[in-house]
């Protein structure tokens, strides 16, 4: 929060700065420690969702578990999305900004606390409270930006107004009959996604593509971490139970290879090169919902695989395998679509990703789906390294 004055002298702390747009070509722009803390607090919500999905799948409640997971994950993802894109333009890192982010973090923790009720009772009241709290804290940031940045004031006011209207509708949704809740969710989902498109038509905000790519990469690492937790649970379970220890350790090793391969494939190509115009950048950002969700779901899938090997789940072999293979296939497909590009000049990579996604799905019928999926992902890493000779493609 320190700022160097133009004249020589000691550095002083500035508690308030005018909130004006930062330059989109600002050099050496990296994630701040506050953004890292924000992401760290969101780990709690992601972990709660992965645990709830694991229990739902192991109990055989597949449809309910997957739908609840996607609905709750949307709340976390969209709040994170809005925070990250606002910060890339208007991060002042002064006292009012930090306090507003504190309220947003509190909202994320409220969402995490409401996850069990959402999965077990289909009661989203606590989640809506946390979500609305985060979004309204964001509104105060947009109003502050509207006051300081006269050029982008129409855009900031559109953001603030659009967010407030949709939050009122989220609260009103709680009073709807049960049969209307799901259709209303999808309507509000669409409205939320339309607000940035409508607001940016006034005056486009500045955004730093290197900063945005780094923010998305950091969150990808966080959700991939759920898979590491699942692999660790395999070893812990085997040690405590004393049975199936060899199989569970093998499963843990395969899970580690799998998550390392997915990390490698995601970061092999620089994400910022896919961010050109605002339209392509926003599509890239929206598409990451499925990358993030599939990575988090993979952590739950790893724990389902542990339950299946230990004979502690109601699932048969195929659904238990698909808890792993479907998230991996979705992750590979959307990394290919968003990071690689279907028209990529490097044909082994352009063809390899979708082919690997199909092979991973086919491995659902194999006797060792986690090991097959890990092997396919590792082979894709080898193909990628060989095709690019270890260097990213421009």
Residue 295 burial (10 A CB sphere; 0-12, 13-18, 19+): buried
67 in any annotated domain: yes
Contact between 98 and 37 (Cβ < 8 Å): no
10 in any annotated domain: no
| pLDDT for the residue numbered 176 | 93
171 in any annotated domain: yes
Which residues on adjacent β-strands are paired with residue 3?
A: 12
394 in any annotated domain: no
| pLDDT for the residue numbered 6 | 42
Residues 235, 154, single domain; the answer is: no
Residues 72, 104, single domain; the answer is: yes
| pLDDT for the residue numbered 390 | 63
204 in any annotated domain: no
Residues 151, 56, single domain; the answer is: yes
- Domain end (from 131, 164, 199): 199
5 in any annotated domain: no
- Domain end (from 144, 173, 199): 199
Residues 246, 247, 252: CA angle, nearest 5 degrees:
100
Residues 227, 372, single domain; the answer is: yes
Q: Give how many domains the chain has, as a whole number.
A: 2
Residues 110, 131, single domain; the answer is: yes
pLDDT means per 10 residues in the chain (394 residues)? 43 73 79 91 87 90 93 92 92 92 94 91 92 95 94 95 97 93 95 94 88 91 81 69 73 90 90 78 92 93 86 87 96 90 71 93 93 95 84 58
| pLDDT for the residue numbered 158 | 96
- Domain end (from 199, 233, 266): 199
Other CB atoms within 10 A of residue 21 CB:
20
Alpha carbon distance 122, 182 (integer Å): 11
The pTM of this model reads 0.90
Q: Which domain holds residue 367?
A: 209-388
Tell me the H-state helices in the chain: 33-58, 62-90, 95-121, 125-148, 153-173, 178-199, 209-241, 245-268, 278-309, 317-335, 347-362, 369-388
Residues 57, 164, single domain; the answer is: yes
For 86-97, the DSSP string reads HHHHH---SHHH
Residues 215, 191, single domain; the answer is: no
Residues 363, 249, single domain; the answer is: yes
Q: How far apart are the first and last CA of the chain?
A: 36
8 in any annotated domain: no
Residues 194, 291, single domain; the answer is: no
| pLDDT for the residue numbered 238 | 64
Alpha carbon distance 351, 356 (integer Å): 9
Residues 169, 259, single domain; the answer is: no
85 in any annotated domain: yes
| pLDDT for the residue numbered 386 | 87
Alpha carbon distance 42, 45 (integer Å): 5
| H helix count then E strand count, the chain | 12, 2
Residues 254, 194, single domain; the answer is: no
Residues 264, 379, single domain; the answer is: yes
């Amino acid at each position: 929060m320190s700022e160097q004055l133009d004249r020589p002298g000691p550095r002083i702390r500035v508690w308030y700065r005018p909130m004006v747009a930062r330059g989109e070509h600002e050099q050496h722009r990296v994630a701040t420690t506050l953004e890292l803390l924000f992401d760290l607090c969101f780990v709690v919500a992601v972990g709660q969702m992965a645990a709830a999905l694991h229990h739902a799948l192991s109990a055989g409640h597949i449809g309910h578990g997957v739908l609840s997971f996607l609905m709750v994950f949307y709340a976390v993802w969209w709040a994170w999305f809005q925070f990250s894109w606002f910060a890339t333009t208007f991060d002042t890192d002064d006292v009012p900004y930090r306090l507003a982010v504190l309220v947003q973090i509190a909202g994320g923790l409220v969402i995490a606390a409401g996850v069990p009720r959402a999965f077990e009772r289909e009661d989203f009241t606590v989640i809506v409270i946390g979500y609305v709290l985060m979004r309204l804290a964001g509104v105060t940031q947009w109003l502050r930006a509207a006051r300081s940045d006269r050029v982008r004031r129409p855009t900031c006011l559109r953001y603030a107004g659009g967010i407030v209207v949709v939050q009122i509708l989220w609260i009103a949704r709680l009073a709807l009959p049960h049969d209307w809740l799901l259709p209303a969710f999808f309507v509000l989902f669409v409205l939320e996604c339309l607000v940035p498109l409508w607001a940016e038509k006034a005056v486009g905000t500045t955004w730093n593509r290197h900063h945005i790519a780094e923010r998305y990469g950091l969150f990808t690492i966080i959700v991939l971490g759920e898979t590491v937790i699942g692999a660790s649970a395999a070893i812990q379970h085997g040690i405590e139970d004393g049975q199936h220890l060899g199989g569970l350790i093998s499963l843990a090793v395969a899970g580690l290879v799998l998550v390392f391969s997915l990390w490698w494939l995601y970061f092999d190509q620089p994400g910022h090169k896919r961010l050109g115009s605002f339209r392509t950048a926003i599509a890239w950002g929206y598409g990451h919902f499925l990358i993030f969700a599939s990575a988090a779901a993979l952590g739950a899938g790893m724990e389902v695989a542990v339950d299946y090997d230990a004979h502690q789940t109601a699932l048969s072999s195929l659904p238990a395998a698909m808890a792993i293979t479907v998230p991996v296939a979705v992750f590979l497909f959307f990394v290919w679509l968003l990071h690689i590009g279907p028209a990529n000049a490097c044909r082994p990579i352009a063809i390899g990703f979708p082919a690997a996604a199909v092979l991973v799905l086919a491995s659902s019928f194999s006797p060792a789906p986690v090991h097959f999926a890990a092997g396919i992902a590792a082979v894709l890493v080898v193909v990628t390294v060989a095709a690019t000779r270890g260097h990213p493609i421009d």
